[in-house]
Amino acid sequence: MPLKIHKMDFSPPVGAALMVCDVHNVPIETIDINLFAREHLKPEYVKKNPMHTIPLLEDDDFIIHDSHAIMMYISDKYGKDDSLYPKDLQKRALVNQQLFFDTLLFYRTRSITFAALIEGVRKPTEKQLNDLHEGYSFLEGFLSKTKFVAGDNMTIADISILSSVSAMRHIIPIDDTKYPKTAAWFKFMTSQSFFKKCAEKGSLIFGEMLKKAMDL
């Protein structure tokens, strides 16, 4: 049976999970969850995921509801090699470290986008915008040391951070004079077939939603 992924296309974590499935050529069945219609709060969904978030992965009766955990699981189960998620303890620790960093990027972005799309707050605070700039500066620091975020080859950390940055750039575009390494990395990552196939459309939809909901 194919894996089932519950999703809504504009979600950055959903995009990350879908991209990793595509990279590993994993057959999946997608199930749309309309957050605005509060489908994620239906009892049958909350029973599967008490946090009522997306994405949610079902592998028969096994369920995971965190995008990073999904990416790890998919890579361990279906990866033809361990290049995207190394088995070497220290290399894996570096990837995990950047996945935790991605959580910071995502929630700094979400603090703005949730307020805009759900609560009607049209303008982020100066602190919220400064937090995004700081996120870019952290990423620039990582990419100044290695070609990718956790070393010199692409890993699931790059794919996950790509999804977050593809949302961030709709609030604060990547300044290639301040963040040249980040801009070059983002250009390369968005040129990859897995992004174009699985996340580009959702990111553009997200950008249009924010354009209507925010004053930037």
Q: Please, which residues have CB within 8 angstroms of residue 115's CB and are 6 or more apart in sequence? A: 121, 124
Catalytic residue among 11, 67, 75, 203: 11
Contact assessment for residue 163 and residue 103, using Cβ atoms and an 8 Å cutoff:
no
- For residue 181, what are the contacts with CB-CB under 8 A and spacing of at least 6? 140, 143, 144
The DSSP code sequence of the chain is --EEEEE-TT-HHHHHHHHHHHHTT--EEEEE--TTTTGGGSHHHHHH-TT--S-EEEETTEEE--HHHHHHHHHHHH-SSSSSS--SHHHHHHHHHHHHHHHHHHHHHHHHHHHHHTT---S--HHHHHHHHHHHHHHHHHHTTSSBTTBSS--HHHHHHHHHHHHHTTTS---TTT-HHHHHHHHHHHTSHHHHHHTHHHHHHHHHHHHHH---
Catalytic, 164? Answer no
Catalytically active residues are 11
